[in-house]
Amino acid sequence: MLEGQTCLVTGASRGIGRGVAEELGTHGANVVVNYRSSEDLAHEVCDHIEDDCDGEAVPAQADVADYDEVQTMVEGVREEFGGVDVLVNNAGITVDKKFESMTREDWDRVVDVNLGGVFNCTKACFEDLCDAEDGRLINISSVVGQQGNYGQANYATTKSGLFGFTRTIALEMASSGSTANCVAPGFVATDMLETVPERVQEKILDRIPLNRFATVDDVAGIVRFVASEDAGYMTGQILAVNGGMEW
């Protein structure tokens, strides 16, 4: 159970982030539901957590790529709950193109959100996570960061980058007793997967030994475990949740 823990989940209005926020709320945590533009959906997630779970939930608008917005959001969390115990860096985007057509702008957009956002949020929460002594930093990477993927040079680079970041922060946090880990999902049925053409989805499915895409719940349960006391001696690790895909 996560009673008394305050968990900030970025990109929690939809998809994996929403599933994680609801899972943590179901287990008693106070949840901060960050979103960029889907205000109504973020409120819906909070209502669901408050109605069905023990913890409190509040929506928090901020573009994770914006350093000042993230600082303001985290100051708000501190005023409301006293600090962040669990940070789930989930917000992420894709801008898929073959490398020969990829522009510098396509590259920068993805790097700014997927890595810049992780820097901004971790920076804003770092002291709180260390002060918590059993704090948890959980970065949502991807099997694409492990394998690479056609048309995703920008995205794959950001998702691989999280491995080095997580490992390093794990070392720098270790003396406080807090941990940093990566969860690397395979292909999950969310809006992000909807952007992949159907014929490509079929090819991906052929590569998944469990023969199905992951559900949001497949990932959320693992994140809840990593956030829990049971995972206290695990740090700097990559947990692959990919239906048996090799890498």
Count of beta carbons in the 10 Å neighbourhood of residue 56: 16
Binding-site member from 22, 23, 63, 96 for ligand NAP (CB under 6 A): 63
**Length reported for the chain:** 247
Give me the 127-166 binding string for ligand NAP, x by CB under 6 A, dash otherwise. Answer: -------------x-x------------------------
User: Is residue 25 within the footprint of ligand NAP (CB under 6 A)?
Assistant: no
Closest approach of ligand NAP to the CB of residue 48, in Å? 14
Residue 155 a catalytic site member: yes
Binding-site member from 5, 6, 13, 160 for ligand NAP (CB under 6 A): 13
H-type helices in the chain, by residue range? 15-26, 39-52, 67-81, 104-111, 117-131, 143-147, 153-173, 191-194, 198-206, 216-227
Binding piece for ligand NAP, criterion CB under 6 A, among 30-38, 103-111, 163-171, 229-237: 30-38
Helix, coil or strand: residue 45:
helix
User: Is residue 240 within the footprint of ligand NAP (CB under 6 A)?
Assistant: no
Question: For ligand NAP, which is the closer residue by CB, 132 or 182?
Answer: 182
Taking the chain, what is the end-to-end CA distance rounded to the nearest angstrom? 33
The full 3-state SS of 78-106, as one line of letters, equals HHHHCCCCEEEECCCCCCCECHHHCCHHH
Site for ligand NAP in 172-231 (CB under 6 A): 185, 187-188, 190-193
118-142: string of b/e by CB count within 10 Å (b at 16+)?
A: bbbbbebbbebbbebebbbbbbbbb
Catalytic residue among 35, 67, 150, 155: 155
Closest approach of ligand NAP to the CB of residue 18, in Å? 7
Question: For ligand NAP, which is the closer residue by CB, 67 or 130?
Answer: 67
Site for ligand NAP in 102-131 (CB under 6 A): 113, 117
Half-sphere exposure of 194 (CA within 13 A, CB side): 3
Tokens of 38: 């889907």
Question: For ligand NAP, which is the closer residue by CB, 171 or 210?
Answer: 210
Binding-site member from 2, 8, 9, 17 for ligand NAP (CB under 6 A): 17
Helix, coil or strand: residue 158:
helix
Where along the sequence are the contacts to ligand NAP (CB under 6 A)?
Answer: 10-17, 34-38, 63-65, 90-93, 113, 117, 140, 142, 185, 187-188, 190-193
| Catalytically active residues, by annotation | 155
